[in-house]
Structure 1
């Protein structure tokens, strides 16, 4: 049982990040993501801890809150290889630049960054940096917990497109991603919600953490509904956009003093 847990966490970390994750006892094997998806919030928490560590180092160096927040968001992007940010940019370019479903999907597959994608990355990065900087005004400890909570919960609710939509195309990362089993999805949401309560230890109220959870879920579902209207389903880029929207929802909700 313990080996399955460790293998699932490693599988999710290898998928969601570029962290140097050692292989399991059987080496590198193709994981059962339909089962392993329960571990997405745990992988997210570990990734969030990378950003939290950057916040701590910046605090020790007595850097200003916005500079510290910028370094932390940069650390997250380095840890993940900007996987989710890339998806967000592609979705913005496709949905904004295409007029038909086929055009939108073609633009999303194009690796070049367009005006809509660049603007989306700029605005969402500013939102994350300023929200995290506002959280640091309360305390560094609170901001660290907020970042871990956002990273964990956003990857749990970011599974929403997988369970509410069908693939928009027959090939690509989205089409090959298995739908989480009902039990895996349930455990992912439970674990994500539990980790999202952590900011209480830094001074957040229970009501604020509940609002943050609702904001994350609403943002992810909103991306799902938008994708359904725009391209009739999900792609790997839509999954990345849902995660980013949910993370922003948590950080903004926790930034309110």
Structure 2
């Protein structure tokens, strides 16, 4: 059943042709630990980009393209929707209505620009690391991103019926234990430069905590857009944090 849950997670979190089924979805929804386990696989695939020869700017561009080819645009859409919600004035209902609007506002455009531009800059920064460390940081950042999503699933309350409610309804804080156990080994991936991954992985908890606090105050809870934004923001912060930690160590 654990493998079925991971297959459901990979099908939900990426565009890999693993097949979709109701059984896999239910197994995934009941086991938040499948998030970081899927992160190991997706991070390993993305890390292969750091092995490519060529100028840093070219590799960074390929890294951004590969990220969204692998994971799809769905989570980036969450960034845009949250950006629009953050930019508008009003009560939680007003902000949620803006998130449901398919039009892209100034806040969403700015948020997407920062995230995609920041990811390109992260790809450039990876070029300054030894290849082994760069691979470790990419894997660790993807595990951290999925850990952030799992944290919101375990601790958040959905604002309405939908994806978020389907995932949060059957989980609680007790499910965080297996999530932490599955993610923790990623802190030791960069054994030649331990600070890089030791710093990168905990960003999942930091970003999730900040988003959960913000969502409760401004949206009255979490949604699928909050989950997606957590994934994108954590990946971005984790890579930069890992590179900075390596630079200063």
TM-score, normalising length: structure 2: 0.88
> Counterpart of 2:231?
243
Q: Counterpart in 1 of 2:115? A: 124
Q: 1:204 aligns with which of 172, 193, 197?
A: 193
C-alpha distance in 2 between matches for 1:151 and 1:84: 13
How far did residue 146 of structure 1 move?
A: 1.1
Note the residue ranges of structure 1 that are not aligned, 5 or more in a row: none
Q: Which moved more, 1:146-155 or 1:46-55?
A: 46-55
Name which of 27, 30, 34 aligns with 1:35.
30
Q: Shift of residue 227 of structure 1?
A: 0.8
| Residue equivalent to 2:3 | 6
2-structure distance, mates of 1:10, 1:214: 25
Displacement, 1:11?
A: 0.9
Deviations 1:15-45 (A, max 9, x none): 111101046xxx6524233433212112112
List alignment gaps of at least 5 residues for structure 2.
none
Identify which of 94, 100, 104 aligns with 1:103: 94
Instruction: Give the counterpart of 1:174 among 164, 167, 170.
Output: 164
C-alpha deviation, 1:53, in angstroms: 2.2
Does the C-alpha gap of structure 1 residues 135 and 63 become closer, same or farther in structure 2, counting only changes over 3 Å? same
Change (3 A) 1:211 1:144: closer
- One of 4, 11, 16 as aligned partner of 2:13: 16
CA offsets, 1:125-145, max 9 Å, x none?
222222232122122332222
Relative to 1, partners in 2 of residues 1:252 and 1:16: Cα closer, same or farther, differing over 3 Å? same
- The answer to whether the Cα contact below 8 Å between 2:35 and 2:149 also exists between their aligned partners in 1 is no
Cα offset for 1:245?
2.1
The answer to whether 1:225 aligns with 2:220 is no
Q: What CA distance in whole angstroms lies between the structure 2 residues aligned with 1:148 and 1:135?
A: 12
Q: CA deviation at 1:184?
A: 3.9
Q: Is the 8 A contact 2:144 2:235 kept in 1?
A: yes
Query: For residues 100 and 53 of structure 1, what CA distance do their matches in structure 2 show?
Result: 44
